[in-house]
Amino acid sequence: MESILIARGVLPYKSRPVAGGGGDVGRGLSPAAGSLLDAIERNGVRLLQAPNLLEALRDASGLYDSEARAAWQADRALRHVGEAW
């Protein structure tokens, strides 16, 4: 569904990592979740799988921190290029 909404211009972004299952750590998903796991793989979304909720939060926090750092560096580089013009 997300891919369709992105293709139609409804959503301007794509999901990052996802989690689910027992304790929202991506473990213990039932066989009925097979189509969900197929969709995650088909759309290139990372499934967070941690041994417990604390580790899941640490993993997610680390990913968000690295994305924020990358966005800050890209913004800084663009500002530098703009100043050079």
- Which string of b and e fits 46-60 if b means at least 16 CB within 10 Å? ebbbbeeeeebeebb
**pTM of the shown model:** 0.46
Per-residue pLDDT of the chain (85 residues; tens, 9 = 90+): 888 888 898 988 777 666 665 555 555 666 666 777 788 788 787 777 778 878 878 887 887 777 777 777 777 777 766 666 6
Looking at residue 22, the DSSP 8-state letter turns out to be: G
- CA terminus-to-terminus distance, the chain: 42
Domain coordinates in residue numbering, the chain: 2-84
